[in-house]
Structure 1
Amino acid sequence: MHVHETETHKDKPDNDHVEDAQASAYLDNLLKNGSQEGDSGAELELPPWYDEQLFKRGQQYFSKYRFVMTSGMLAGLIAVLAIPSILRVLMCTKQSSTCFTAYRRYVRTIMHTQTWHFSPIEDRSSKFWTSMATVRRAHSRSSKLSTRCGAGVISQKDLALTQFGFIGFITLGAHRIQLYDQDFLEATTHVWRVLGYLLGIKDEYNICGGNWEESKKRLDIVMRKVYTPALSNTNEDFYRMTKALINGLWHINAMFSVGANIYFTKRLAYVKGYEYYSFDYRADEKPDPQQKSYYYDLNLWDRFIVSYGLFIVTFLHKYDLIRCYFNFRVWLVDFFMHYLPFFAIWNFGIKSAYVRIFRSEGNAIEIEVNSKEE
């Protein structure tokens, strides 16, 4: 696997050097200028570079690889909590600091993300556009509230780093689950380039570029320079917010575990000590025999979840029958989340357990944003 990647780099060293320089320039611009700018202010209209067929293929790939894509997004949601500026906003708005508020916030996030992948983008009256406008307005309100309480505006940098959370791990880590479909990578990053634009990210800060090669360079440098260091030095606020996130979402999937899910996330970000397989090292790195393995700090249940989960996605997910089975399980979890969230009903009561983003007539339910817990 690594040999193949090395040979590819050798075939076009000059081109790679230029692209790496461009990626570095992208990151410098994002961290310096992107931290000073808020929402792009662009109208909620499709960008001029939108490719309808590529976008639709990206939506189809979400259905085809639903299990691993949702797993990657969950790891991304956890990783985002390691970014100080984003964590400050979340703590300020107090929408995900407890098990209950995290349950409602992240279930809404799941529902909006599903809407973007399953609703027709070509129909301006579809739930895709209703959802997109609702989230954009919520971001605007959160940014104003965050500024008032001293946490700062939701910047272009924050938006792009959050965008990584949804797209980074599944694309950069595709080879680790033997997913070598280049069209999947092209189409999926185009979908999130479009979604990022509609959510107010300027093209110069959008972590998804004009094609997969450009996107890969941007994603990789953000992983190396931002996420790996951040996840290597997590603090108590990160663990507290992650615990709230996982314990909240446990109500829709009892296989979620704080220890195991943090392990999955840090492994995907190449944090030292979280390697499980021999290919969990970057191509330019070698195993350090003195490095402690944090796998053995996990309890037996978390170890089982890690071993079982990694075996499934690494060796079995490539088979159509297995993939369909686990996609069906995700569908089943979503079905109960929507119609019968029994664990949430037991703990939070019927009224609070049911989360909706649309009213029965199709209108959006606005996302409440305030400085008090729900």
Structure 2
Amino acid sequence: MHAHTTEVNNKSVNDAQAEEYLDNLLKNGSQEGDSGAELELPSWYDEQLFKRGQKYFSKYRFVMTSGMLAGLIAVLAIPSILRVLICTRQSSNCLTAYRRYVRTILHTQAWYFHPIEDRSSKFWTSIAAVRKAHSRSSKMSTRCGAGQITQKDLAITQFGFIGFITVGAHRIQLYDEDFLEATSHMWRVLGYLLGIKDEYNVCGKNWAESKQRLEIVMRKVFRPALSDTNNDFYRMTEALIHGLWHINTMFSVNANIYFTKRLAYVKGYEYYSFDYLPGEKFDPLQKSYYNDLNLWDRFIVNYGLFIVTYLHKYSLIRWYFNFRVLLVDFFMYYLPCFAIWNFGIKTAYVRIFKSGGQAQEIQLNLKEE
């Protein structure tokens, strides 16, 4: 009895801390821009934990990449972020979306594959380039009336990169505590380096705190936003998927939206019996949006969910799908055939570093009023 009471008390303390974090993020975090912190490692940085976080990408590449894609789609449902993207015209058509999201993939890979301990490595070049690009986009979107990029926007985008794969790990039978601890620490460090203050960072001082923050952001920010999406969201997602289709032809707009909304527990997007939040259950009156999908989209949904839910736990299957992602990445970098066919050679090749190792400048296009 006593243990049960302690558990209940701990839960209410944790819930209160999570609510406090979210209130602060939504109220104060929406008034502040970049933290202004120097590009130096924070005092709480743990080298061993960070490096273990980097290594896990090779082990879980397929599901982590899938989770990030869902996160990128989910972020488009957040009005303040969507306004900045529309204003800077970085991803509003197939070509600009292709180039922007391939750059995003290459930067993320630079953070996972280059050494953080070497200050001259591409890890730091990439971090500095992204921070600079955020600063320019923020000034530009302020000029055209869409508002600056705030701490809230940065933290919500940070969720896009690791939220679904960490808080959703149990849904794909991934019970690796060290993966969760190391990944959340790694992204806490990345968030800090990209200008997020500790009080707004969606990753806390350990996995227990990160989990509270990630879960409340998913439930109270992403779930409502994805339950009420508009034409702008659909148009930008369509541009994203049509752009990335050039590197993976299995992508489909409606199937990928379905995956994303299911991950955020949006009602009507349940596929398995465990696709409900605690305290919620099957509602016979709820429309199932699966029925709106065409045959090809249903095939992608069935195939994708069966693999990650039931087969991914086997190392041989994991190895096979990780290898497929590796192959896709190889062609994306060295021989983007479909992109060359559609956009021409010069535009199809996307690079974030010059041959000397310096960062490539990102061209921003201010939306014509």
- TM tier relative to shorter chain: over 0.9
1:191-270 residue pairs with structure 2 within 5 A? 191-270=186-265
Q: How many Å apart are 1:367 and its aligned residue?
A: 1.5
**Distance verdict in 2 for CA 1:190–1:242, change over 3 Å:** same
Q: Is the 8 A contact 1:66 1:327 kept in 2?
A: yes
Tell me the equivalent position of 1:159.
Answer: 154
**Distance verdict in 2 for CA 1:304–1:209, change over 3 Å:** same
Q: 1:40 aligns with which of 23, 31, 35?
A: 35
Does residue 1:143 correspond to 2:115, yes or no?
A: no
Residue deviations 1:67-126, cap 9 Å, x none?
000000000000000000000000000010000000000000000000001110000000
Tell me the equivalent position of 1:4.
Answer: none
Q: Is the 8 A contact 1:267 1:274 kept in 2?
A: yes
Q: 1:281 aligns with which of 276, 296, 314?
A: 276
Tell me the equivalent position of 2:362.
Answer: 367
Distance 2:138 2:327 in 1: 35
Tell me the equivalent position of 1:20.
Answer: 15
Does residue 1:184 correspond to 2:168, yes or no?
A: no
Distance 2:301 2:332 in 1: 24
Aligned residue for 2:304, secondary structure, equals: helix
Tell me the equivalent position of 2:63.
Answer: 68
Distance 1:343 1:259 in 2: 21
One-letter amino acid of the structure 1 residue matched with residue 29 of structure 2: G
Residue deviations 1:4-36, cap 9 Å, x none?
xxxx98762212211110110000000000000
Does residue 1:91 correspond to 2:86, yes or no?
A: yes
Q: Is the 8 A contact 1:9 1:16 kept in 2?
A: no
**TM-score w.r.t. structure 1 length?**
0.96
Does residue 1:340 correspond to 2:335, yes or no?
A: yes
Distance 2:47 2:365 in 1: 37
Tell me the equivalent position of 1:102.
Answer: 97
Distance 2:225 2:357 in 1: 40
**TM-score w.r.t. structure 2 length?**
0.98
Q: 2:346 aligns with which of 351, 356, 369?
A: 351
Q: Is the 8 A contact 2:86 2:367 kept in 1?
A: no
Q: How many Å apart are 1:242 and its aligned residue?
A: 0.2
**Distance verdict in 2 for CA 1:196–1:9, change over 3 Å:** farther
Q: How many Å apart are 1:370 and its aligned residue?
A: 2.8
Residue deviations 1:158-216, cap 9 Å, x none?
00000010011000100000000111100000010000000000000000000011001
How many residue pairs get aligned? The number is: 366
Distance 1:60 1:11 in 2: 36
Distance 2:97 2:43 in 1: 36
Distance 2:101 2:245 in 1: 11
One-letter amino acid of the structure 2 residue matched with residue 355 of structure 1: V
Distance 2:231 2:186 in 1: 34
**Distance verdict in 2 for CA 1:284–1:343, change over 3 Å:** same
Q: What are the ranges of 5 or more consecutive residues in structure 1 without an aligned counterpart?
A: 1-7
Q: What are the ranges of 5 or more consecutive residues in structure 2 without an aligned counterpart?
A: none
CA RMSD in angstroms comes to 1.1
Q: How many Å apart are 1:133 and its aligned residue?
A: 0.2
**Distance verdict in 2 for CA 1:10–1:163, change over 3 Å:** farther
Distance 2:253 2:191 in 1: 29
Q: Is the 8 A contact 1:82 1:238 kept in 2?
A: yes
Residue deviations 1:244-281, cap 9 Å, x none?
00000000000000000000000000000000000011
Aligned residue for 2:30, secondary structure, equals: helix
* Identical-pair percentage: 82
Q: How many Å apart are 1:292 and its aligned residue?
A: 0.8
One-letter amino acid of the structure 2 residue matched with residue 256 of structure 1: F
